[in-house]
Amino acid sequence: MKTHVTKPADITRKWYLVDAQGKILGRLASRVAAILRGKHKPIYAPNVDAGDHVIIVNAEKVRVTGKKAKNKRYIHFTGYPGGLRIEIYADLMRRRPERILEQAISGMLPHNKLGRKMFKKLKVCIGENHQHQAQKPEVLEIS
């Protein structure tokens, strides 16, 4: 038996278009993170970025279940004394809805150079329009 070693030359990248309207945040984020990592491909290797590009539209229409809209908090520390910033999900959704999906997905990727490289293949858009029609993205239905 021989072990297949994935090389960067073996990788072909596709573009996928995902509509977030009415989708649950965590389920959508986990499926998109798997596509960005390349786990849906037979040539997947944990040390190689074999994933595809993903465009998410209608980011402002993603939903959460239960009381998360009132209770879920996003915490950021500026690095200065007294610089802890806490924002509620509902406030962040009004201010920057694309940031909610970006944070959820980036938390599911590796926290190293490889994860940052994978995250660059994610494009999150507010509304139906996006700038990547030239790449001819395939519509990906996520339940």
pLDDT tens digits, one per residue of 55-79 = 999 999 999 999 999 999 999 999 9
Q: Is the pLDDT of residue 3 over 90?
A: no
In contact, 34 and 40? CB cutoff 8 Å = yes
pTM: 0.92
- The residues spanned by each domain of the chain are 14-63+96-139
**pLDDT in the model for residue 7:** 87
Asked whether the predicted pLDDT for residue 37 surpasses 90, the reply is: yes
Q: Is the pLDDT of residue 4 over 90?
A: no
Fold annotation for 14-63+96-139: Ribosomal Protein L13p; Chain: A; (3.90.1180)
Count of CB atoms within 10 A of residue 88's CB?
A: 15
β-pair type (84-88, 73-77): antiparallel
